[in-house]
A = this chain, B = another copy of it.
Amino acid sequence: MVPSLQKLLAALRRLPGVGPKSAQRIGYHLLRATREEATELARAVVALKDRVGLCSVCGNVAERAEGVSDKTPLECPVCADPRRDSSRLLIVEEPYNVEAFQKTGVYDGLYHVLGGLFDPLAGVGAVELGLDALARRVSGGSFREVILATSPTTAGEATASYIHELLKPLGVTLTRIAVGLAPGADVDYADEISLRLALEGRREYGSIGR
């Protein structure tokens, strides 16, 4: 195989869900694609690294406006929206979970993105998830309710439980999304209806046995 194709296939194989066969299919597709299509992809990857980062307030994905210095802290569209209800905070694992909850159309509060879940084997704990910053945000804010919306998996429940203990002394109402998701299901794969039901059916943390 020619070196440029080999290099591209190696770079593609590093992407999640792309094995040798898919890398090959994508590589040969790009070989046949127009220069515009290929350039657009390459540019989009570079632009992502140049302009997109995490919101300094909530950890959601945020984009830098053109011409703004990369030293300026980023603010995501949700945090920048003054119409959001600042008395509620919904805690999720990943930025794409924010997208999913936004699509339900039944939540207009703020978010906090953990960027993961407890994972002792990978060395991910309270420090790595920045839970001290979360506690500072909640104690310094005017939240009446904090919704724990991590996946109902072992790691998601462990993380929710820890955050519950951490925020309990702050006197806010802590709720947990509940119905609509099967135990063991991943928030990322749930449809909008299930997510909406889970959101609407939330109960005060600890009020239901699991």
Contact = CB atoms under 8 A, between A and B. Distances in A.
A39 B45 CA distance: 7
A49 B30 contact: yes
A4 B46 CA distance: 10
A37 B16 CA distance: 13
Interface in A39-58: 39-52
Interface in A14-46: 14-18, 21-22, 24-31, 35, 37-46
A45 B63 contact: no
Given A1-B61, A2-B77, A45-B42, A18 B26 contact: yes
Nearest to A9: B44
Interface string A111-149: 000000000000000000000000000000000000000
Interface stretch (A91-99, A166-174, A175-183, A195-203): A91-99
The oligomer's copy count stands at 2
Interface residues of A, number: 52
A190 interface: no
B95 A28 contact: yes
Given A17-B22, A62-B2, A63-B3, A38 B46 contact: yes
Quick one: which of A2, A40, A41 has the most chain B CB within 10 A? A2
Interface in A94-112: 94-96, 99
Given A8-B44, A46-B39, A15 B2 contact: no
Q: 4 nearest interchain CB pairs?
A: A2-B63, A8-B44, A42-B42, A11-B41
Interface of A: 1-5, 7-8, 10-12, 14-18, 21-22, 24-31, 35, 37-52, 61-63, 76-77, 94-96, 99, 189
Given A11-B40, A17-B26, A42-B43, 11 more contacts: A4-B44, A4-B50, A5-B48, A5-B63, A8-B45, A11-B41, A15-B30, A21-B189, A38-B46, A42-B42, A45-B45
